[in-house]
Amino acid sequence: MTKYVIKKAGKYWPSKAMKDIAWVNDSKIYKQADKDPVKFWGELAKQGLIWEEPWEKTYQEKLPYFYWFKGGKINFCVNALDRHLAHGNKPALIWVPEPIKEKPIILTYAELFQQVNKFANALKQKGVKKSDAVSIYLPLVPEALVAMLACSRIGAIHSVVFSAFAPDALKSRIQDCEAKVLVTADGYYRRGKPVNLLKKAKKALRGTKIKKVIVVPRLHKNKNYFGKFENFNMFIYGKKSYCAPEIMNSEDPLFILYTSGTTGKPKGIVHDTGGYATQAYYTAKYNFNLKKDDIMWCTADIGWVTGHTYAFYGPLLNGATTLIYEGTPDFPNPDRWWKIIDKYKVSVFYTAPTAIRMFMKLGDKYVNKHKMNSLKILATVGEPIDNDAWNWYFKKIGKSRCPIIDTWWQTETGGTLINVLPGIGPFIPTIAGKSFPGTKHTILNKSGKKVKKGFLVQESPFAPGMLHGVYKDHKKYVETYWKSFKTKYDTSDGAIMKNGLFRITGRTDDVMKVAGHRLATAELENAINTNKLVNESAVVPIPDKIRGQVPIAFVILKKGQGSEKLEKLLKEHVDKHLGPTARPAKIYFVNALPKTRSGKIMRRILKSLLANEEPAGLTTLLNPKCVDEIKKIIQPDLKKPENAKKSKTKK
Ligand code: WT7
């Protein structure tokens, strides 16, 4: 069995076998890129992508905005598909359905090309033009890739909405980007049961400008579609299998993806075409060492940016094969994922720490029987990975043969930015690594001074895949990313520098990471507050062994007492308004919330109380008495503080 790592002085490094196959195996790349990052990216973009017309200016900065490859003309779909038609019989996509009896779907590049072109022609016939937005509310099905690429072919902007989101969440996103077309499905399978997605989609449509709904017949439940609704297969039936690609400016938007900010309203993160393509292509190539024969499995849903960049676009831009699956990790069996890796010979596996922790808890017996000897590279994303989870992943999944690439990035950054490259190393648990060649991050304190521990920022020139603003909200864009450090992009993450490598410590704003999903406390509070029984609420995260963090809600009722029944009702209310990912793990009913004299809720105090710590700064509170009340209410659920235990054993 080829070993891709070796241990040297207690650390893991790439083996000779890894170095031999690695696109990048010389750390000189960092220095070279650093000398002239603009030139570095310019050369990569020229080498790696097909441009219809060269750009005039590689990089231009007019903060808070910056532009890559201005004047350059490009079509994204041509880069993801057309140029791979020379090996058109190669699988582009493998889709594994949940029901075991059902066959997987394998689409070759040639087949995918045909479907994408037909869908593109069908969209055009319905009047969808360059710069129009198309909302996509689909689970992980091949048609999602077809629809997204078809949009990029005709210059329409796709906006994917996570299929587990509630109708309200879909509706507000459709309204914000003013989509006239929605692509959805009649449903999908999850844990052995069909889920009715169309019902949710229909609920969301009221009050929007959607004129056409294209429905993927995943469950084949509905035979006739009327009015706005049309079967996906009928929609593309008889359409021409070539659609001339729309030639776009590098700076034209490719997609909008909504993500949680610190306020209740999600932000539409805008990504452009040429810059995004460059970063997606090269980060996939260098981080995961993708070659044409690789089969990459990124387990993320397309509702998240990871699904966009590494389940779909990165592997396709590289001409590799991507695998996606329907359902959940542990159904029908807790070893479903490992079986898939063996059966389809997955070589690059990219997942989230929360999934690793879940499998770790299920026990080793489900992984031990799987060889997984096709694997070369393992990777993680979404939240910091702890030592135990890293080691388990390394030993049990990688069988101590494969490097783990811990990639730090965000919806806003489009592609990965901080990680170790597989041909360079070292691979150290809990350490993300270095800035990708041609990018630069530093750690600052509040006043903008360079420190070893503090706020993580990105320096100019900003990476080509970075966001191009918040859709229709310049103010939000400036306030969120440019207010604190002016000429540096504020990541809202904390970090520590250790031997020239970054350790990410987590969000520094009111954003939680629940099972890798991003959720704003304000978004959840707003949803709870829409319930007519609720007067006010505050939400804070607490650490969770599997999910990383989970939300805890404190609720003041308009009248009456809280009860278990009411707690259940409010949780269901959250499911309905945001989706089950956001459901609070616990709801406490209180009479008051700790507030400053100006009326701001002090979530920090609630956090301390839940951590069983004595909160600081009580004197500045408007209503310090409420702290004792809250203490009493949460007391039964609190774990004994660890140091209390320790001091006992010492005695
Ligand atoms: C936030 C962004 C970008 C892909 C999925 C999440 C956290 C992401 C790591 C990592 C520690 C990480 C950060 C970041 N995060 N990757 N490797 N180590 N933290 O995208 O939903 O936009 O969330 O996820 O806190 O700001 P997202």
pLDDT in tens, 106-163: 999 999 999 999 999 999 999 999 999 999 999 999 999 999 999 999 999 999 999 9
Give residue 647's pLDDT.
Answer: 38
Please tell me the CATH superfamily of domain 5-75+256-260+268-498, with its number. Answer: ANL, N-terminal domain (3.40.50.12780)
**From the CB of 283, is ligand 1 less than 6 Å away?**
no
Residue 616 has what pLDDT?
86
507 lines ligand 1 (CB under 6 A): yes
Confidence of residue 650 (pLDDT cuts 50, 70, 90): very low
Beta-bridge partners for 271: 255
* Mutation test residue for ligand 1: of 283, 409, 427, 514, the one with most atoms within 8 Å of CB: 409
pLDDT of 648 higher than 60: no
CATH for 511-643 (3.30.300.30, 3.40.50.300, 1.10.3210.10, 3.30.70.930) = 3.30.300.30
Helix (H) or strand (E) segment spanning residue 507: strand 501-507
Decide: 259 in ligand 1 pocket, CB within 6 A: yes
Average pLDDT in the chain = 95
383 alpha carbon to ligand 1 midpoint, in Å? 5
Q: Distance from first CA to last CA of the chain, Å, rounded? A: 51
CB of 381 sitting under 6 A from ligand 1: yes
Q: How many CA atoms lie within 13 A of 517 on its CB side?
A: 21
Please, how many CA atoms are within 13 Å of residue 187, restricted to the half-sphere of its CB?
13
Looking at the chain, the whole-number percentage of residues with pLDDT higher than 70 is: 98
Q: Do 5-75+256-260+268-498 and 109-247 have matching folds?
A: yes
Task: Calculate mean pLDDT across residues 218-233.
Answer: 91
Nearest to 210 by CA among 235, 177, 236: 177
CA of 565 to the centre of ligand 1 (A): 35
Predicted TM-score (pTM) of the model is 0.94
Integer CA distances (angstroms), 24 to 288, 420, 435, in order: 11, 11, 15
Highest averaged pLDDT of the listed ranges 186-200, 514-528, 596-610, 615-629: 186-200
Q: 130: which 2 tokens? A: 């360059």
CA of 122 to the centre of ligand 1 (A): 36
Query: Which tokens is 527 given?
Result: 């949803």
Q: Is 414 in the pocket of ligand 1 (CB under 6 A)?
A: no
Number of other residues whose CB lies within 10 A of the CB of residue 505: 15
Residue 360 has a CB neighbour count (10 Å cut-off) of: 19
Ligand 1 mutation target, pool 356, 467, 510, 513, most atoms within 8 A of CB = 513
Model confidence over 354-392: pLDDT tens digits?
999 999 999 999 999 999 999 999 999 999 999 999 999
Residues facing residue 639 across a β-bridge: none
Q: Where are the domains of the chain?
A: 5-75+256-260+268-498, 109-247, 511-643
Tell me how far the alpha carbon of residue 516 lies from the centroid of ligand 1, in angstroms. Answer: 7
**3-class DSSP state for residue 4?**
coil
Q: How confident is the model at residue 622 (pLDDT cuts 50, 70, 90)?
A: confident
Residue 235 pLDDT > 80, yes or no? Answer: yes
Pairing of strands 5-8, 11-14: antiparallel
Is the Cβ–Cβ distance between 359 and 341 less than 8 Å? no
User: Could you report the per-residue pLDDT of 419-438, keeping only the tens digit for each?
Assistant: 999 999 999 999 999 999 99
The answer to whether the CB of 460 is under 6 A from ligand 1 is: no
Q: E strand or H helix at 13, and its extent?
A: strand 11-14
Q: What angle do CA 358, 363, 368 make, to 5 degrees?
A: 115
| Structure token digits, residue 584 | 């609070």
Instruction: Give the confidence band of 620 by pLDDT, cuts at 50, 70, 90.
Output: confident
By alpha-carbon position, which residue is closest to atom 10 of ligand 1? Answer: 408
- On the question of pLDDT at 517 being above 50, the answer is yes
Q: Is the CB of 409 under 6 A from ligand 1?
A: yes
pLDDT exceeds 60 at position 581 = yes
437 prior amide bond cis, ω within 30: no
CA of 381 to the centre of ligand 1 (A): 6
CA of 418 to the centre of ligand 1 (A): 11
Instruction: Give mean pLDDT, residues 231-239.
Output: 97
Cα of 578 from ligand 1 centre, angstroms: 20
CATH topology of domain 109-247: Rossmann fold (3.40.50)
Counting from 1 in the atom list of ligand 1, the atom nearest the Cα of 411 is 22
Percent over 90 (pLDDT), the chain: 92
Token pair of 170 as six digits: 């879909």
Q: Taking each helix axis from N to C terminus, what angle separates 197-205 and 167-177, rounded to the nearest 10 degrees?
A: 50
Atom index in ligand 1 nearest the CA of residue 409 equals: 3
245-262: pLDDT as tens digits: 999 999 999 999 999 877
Q: Label residue 536 exposed, middle or buried (CB < 10 Å: 0-12, 13-18, 19+).
A: middle
